[in-house]
C-alpha cells in the first residue's frame, strides 16, 4: 500500500492496514451534508461512521505518534423537516470522540480563512437582538497523541543493554526506563543511569539535519491562530482545482514537517485530490491515500506524477 492512492471506501480499506504501521495520519473528513458527495441520513449516522474511522486510525497509528484532523464547525440541516437548520460544532464533537477512543488532545490550531463567501450574518433587515450571527471564517486543525502504556523493556539508547528498570511514566501512558549498567557512558553526577522512553528515543532520532524545520514554517505556525487563504478553485466559472473542497497544502506541510521524519509513512484516509500525499512526497515521506471517488483518485495520481 505504500506510495499508493487506493480507490475505495476507507471504512472497508482501513481494516487491511496492519496495526501500528503508520507514522502520522493527516486528514480532513467530509463535513456532514456539506457537499453532494458527503450525504448522510442523520447526524448520528455520520458521527457513527466517523467514530469507526477514528478507531481504525488509532489502531494503525504507531504508538506515541500523532493524528492531525482538520474539521470545520458547520451550518447545516440535521433533519429532513423544516426548521432543522443548526450550527453543528464538529470540532468539539470530534475532540470528545477521539479522547473517548484513547487519543490525547494536544492542540487546536485555528485556521483563519480570511473572508470566505458566507451569508450567515445577513439579518434580513433586522439589526435587533436575537437576529445577529457571525460569519464563519475559521476551521479547526486538531492535534492528538496516541499514547498506550507499553511495559515491554526498551534497551538503553546509549549502551544498548536490557538491564533497565521501571522509572514510572514521563507523561501519561508514556513508560520511562532507567539504565542499570554501571559501565554505561551516560551516568549523572549522582550516579543515576540514562533515563529514557520509547517516545524520547523516537524524538531524538528526528534530530538530524535533514529533518530540520525551516524557520519560515516555525514562524508561520508560532501562534495557534494562523491565517492563510483556502484554495482558489473557481476561475471564470471553471473549477480549476478539479475538486469541490481541495485541501490547502499549508496544513499537511505543517503536520508532516512538525510530526514526522524523513522516510516515515503518512496516511490520509480521505485523500480527495491527493494534497496530503503530494506534500508527503515533496517532503521525503511515503504516503498512503484512500479516496472513494474514482475521478479524484485519478486526479491525485496525475498531480503526484506531474510533481515527480
Domain ranges across the chain: 4-150+205-307
The pLDDT tens digits for 261-293 are 999 999 999 999 999 999 999 999 999 999 999
Task: Provide, rounded to the nearest whole percent, the portion of the chain with pLDDT above 90.
Answer: 70
Residue 84 confidence (pLDDT): 63
Q: What is the mean pLDDT of the segment spanning 165-191?
A: 94
Please say if the pLDDT value at position 220 is more than 90.
yes
Of 37-51, 100-114, 179-193, 290-304, the one with minimum mean pLDDT is 37-51
Of 55-64, 175-184, 225-234, 281-290, the one with minimum mean pLDDT is 225-234
CATH number for the region 4-150+205-307 comes to 3.40.50.150
Q: Give Cα 215 distance to the centre of its chain.
A: 22
Residue 100 burial class via C-beta count within 10 angstroms: exposed 0-12, middle 13-18, buried 19 and up: exposed
Q: Are 94 and 28 in contact (CB under 8 A)?
A: no
Q: Are 114 and 137 in contact (CB under 8 A)?
A: yes
Of 69-83, 164-178, 187-201, 204-218, the one with minimum mean pLDDT is 69-83
Partners of 88 in the β-ladder? 74
Partners of 86 in the β-ladder? 76
Pairwise CA distance, residues 198 & 305, whole Å: 36
Residue 62 confidence (pLDDT): 98
What's this model's pTM, rounded to 2 decimal places?
0.90
Q: In the 8-state DSSP scheme, what is residue 114? A: -
Pairwise CA distance, residues 80 & 49, whole Å: 20
Task: Using DSSP bridges, classify how beta strands 286-291 and 4-7 pair: parallel, antiparallel or unpaired.
Answer: parallel
The pLDDT tens digits for 236-269 are 555 545 556 678 899 999 999 999 999 999 999 9
**Mean pLDDT, the chain, integer:** 89
In this prediction, residue 234 has a pLDDT band, given cuts at 50, 70 and 90, of very low
Partners of 267 in the β-ladder? 25, 288
Q: Are 181 and 156 in contact (CB under 8 A)?
A: yes
Task: Provide, rounded to the nearest whole percent, the portion of the chain with pLDDT above 70.
Answer: 87
Residue 137 confidence (pLDDT): 87
Q: What is the mean pLDDT of the segment spanning 105-109?
A: 97
Please say if the pLDDT value at position 92 is more than 80.
yes
Q: Are 300 and 57 in contact (CB under 8 A)?
A: no
Strand residue runs (E) in the chain: 4-7, 22-27, 61-71, 74-77, 85-88, 103-112, 138-146, 164-171, 174-179, 195-197, 225-227, 234-235, 238-239, 265-268, 286-291
Amino acid at each position: 500500500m505504500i506510495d499508493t492512492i487506493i480507490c475505495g471506501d476507507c471504512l472497508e480499506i482501513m481494516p487491511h492496514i496492519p496495526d501500528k504501521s503508520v507514522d502520522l495520519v493527516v486528514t480532513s473528513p467530509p463535513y456532514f451534508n456539506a457537499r453532494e458527495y458527503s450525504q448522510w441520513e442523520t447526524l448520528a449516522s455520520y458521527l457513527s461512521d466517523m467514530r469507526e474511522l477514528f478507531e481504525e486510525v488509532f489502531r494503525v497509528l504507531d504508538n506515541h505518534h500523532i493524528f492531525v484532523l482538520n474539521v470545520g464547525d458547520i451550518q447545516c440541516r440535521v433533519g429532513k423537516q423544516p426548521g432543522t437548520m443548526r450550527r453543528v460544532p464538529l470540532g468539539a464533537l470530534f475532540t470528545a470522540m477521539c479522547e473517548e477512543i484513547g487519543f490525547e488532545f494536544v492542540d487546536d490550531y485555528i485556521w483563519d480563512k480570511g473572508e470566505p463567501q458566507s451569508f450567515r450574518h445577513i439579518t434580513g433587515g433586522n439589526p435587533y437582538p436575537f437576529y445577529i450571527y457571525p460569519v464563519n471564517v475559521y476551521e479547526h486543525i486538531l492535534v492528538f497523541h496516541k499514547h498506550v502504556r507499553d511495559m515491554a523493556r526498551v534497551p538503553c539508547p546509549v549502551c544498548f543493554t536490557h538491564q533497565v528498570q521501571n522509572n514510572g511514566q514521563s507523561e501519561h501512558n508514556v513508560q520511562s526506563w532507567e539504565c542499570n549498567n554501571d559501565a554505561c557512558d551516560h551516568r549523572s553526577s549522582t550516579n543515576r543511569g540514562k533515563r529514557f522512553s520509547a517516545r524520547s528515543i523516537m524524538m531524538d532520532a528526528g534530530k538530524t539535519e535533514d529533518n530540520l524545520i525551516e524557520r519560515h514554517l516555525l514562524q508561520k505556525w508560532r501562534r495557534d491562530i494562523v491565517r492563510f487563504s483556502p484554495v482558489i478553485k473557481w476561475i471564470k466559472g471553471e473549477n480549476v482545482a478539479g475538486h469541490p473542497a481541495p485541501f490547502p497544502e499549508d496544513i499537511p506541510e505543517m503536520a508532516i514537517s512538525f510530526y514526522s521524519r524523513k522516510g516515515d509513512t503518512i496516511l490520509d484516509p480521505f485523500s480527495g485530490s491527493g494534497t496530503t500525499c503530494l506534500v508527503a512526497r515533496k517532503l521525503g515521506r511515503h504516503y498512503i491515500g484512500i479516496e472513494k471517488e474514482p475521478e479524484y483518485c485519478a486526479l491525485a495520481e496525475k498531480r503526484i506524477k506531474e510533481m515527480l
